[in-house]
């Protein structure tokens, strides 16, 4: 890959991520006590964050997955959101929390929330590891946010570059 020789600027270390995920898990546990929590992980980017997050939630939780596409191999979202794999269960009556790696333009999350809202969940909220509000093209406001970041291309901890680097345990950007 052409990025292999570039330096990495670490934005969030594994320890910083771990600590923030624990905090989010406690907040979500408290907010959903006595509720019928269904976590919907958005693939592919959200799977690592979701896996770590659900292990920090100390109440019964059901987990499902959706796969969407809007980047179409590019560094920026095309704005054309497609659902590649939809939920296969009835979510009516569940308190649904959609979990993803990043809210950038907000178009994907807004599309997912509107799509799921039509299925009559008891409640519907979203959680993102990273929020990049400066790029927002909608009025999306995530209910739970790990970190707010500036407008830069980031990679690692589920976020990819050319389908690589998702496995890196920290979040970084490439620098010259």
Q: What percent of the chain has pLDDT over 90?
A: 85
In a domain, 168, yes or no: no
CATH number, domain at 118? 3.40.50.2020
Q: Is the peptide bond before 44 cis (omega within 30 degrees of 0)?
A: yes
In a domain, 9, yes or no: no
Catalytically annotated residue among 58, 104, 151, 176: 104
Mean pLDDT within 54-71: 92
Local confidence band at 176 (pLDDT 50, 70, 90 cut-offs): confident
Domain count, the chain: 1
Distance separating alpha carbons of residues 72 and 151, to the nearest angstrom: 20
Whether residue 104 lies in the annotated active site: yes
Distance separating alpha carbons of residues 83 and 101, to the nearest angstrom: 16
Instruction: Please spell the DSSP secondary structure of 103-148, one letter per residue.
Output: ESSSHHHHHHHHHHHTT--SEEEEEEEEE-GGG--S----SEEEEE
6 by DSSP, 3-state: which? coil
> Domain range holding 103?
14-152
In a domain, 163, yes or no: no
More confidently predicted of 10 and 1: 10
Q: What is the pLDDT of residues 75-128, one digit of tens each?
A: 555 568 889 999 999 999 999 999 999 999 999 999 999 999 999 999 999 999
Q: What is the pLDDT of residues 27-49, one digit of tens each?
A: 999 999 999 999 999 999 999 99
């Amino acid at each position: 890959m052409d990025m292999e020789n570039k330096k990495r600027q670490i934005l969030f270390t594994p320890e910083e991520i771990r600590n923030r995920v624990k905090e989010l898990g406690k907040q979500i546990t408290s907010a959903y006590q006595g509720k019928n929590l269904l976590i919907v992980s958005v693939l592919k980017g959200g799977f690592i964050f979701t896996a770590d997050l659900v292990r920090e939630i100390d109440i019964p939780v059901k987990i499902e997955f959706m796969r969407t596409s809007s980047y179409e191999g590019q560094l920026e979202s095309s704005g054309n959101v497609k659902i590649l794999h939809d939920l296969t269960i009835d979510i009516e009556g569940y308190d649904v929390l959609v979990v993803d790696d990043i809210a950038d333009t907000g178009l994907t999350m807004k599309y997912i929330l509107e799509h799921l809202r039509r299925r009559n969940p008891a409640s519907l909220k979203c959680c993102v590891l990273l929020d990049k509000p400066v790029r927002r093209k909608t009025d999306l406001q995530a209910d739970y946010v790990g970190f707010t970041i500036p407008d830069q291309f980031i990679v690692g901890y589920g976020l990819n570059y050319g389908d690589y680097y998702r496995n890196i345990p920290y979040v970084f950007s490439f620098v010259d």
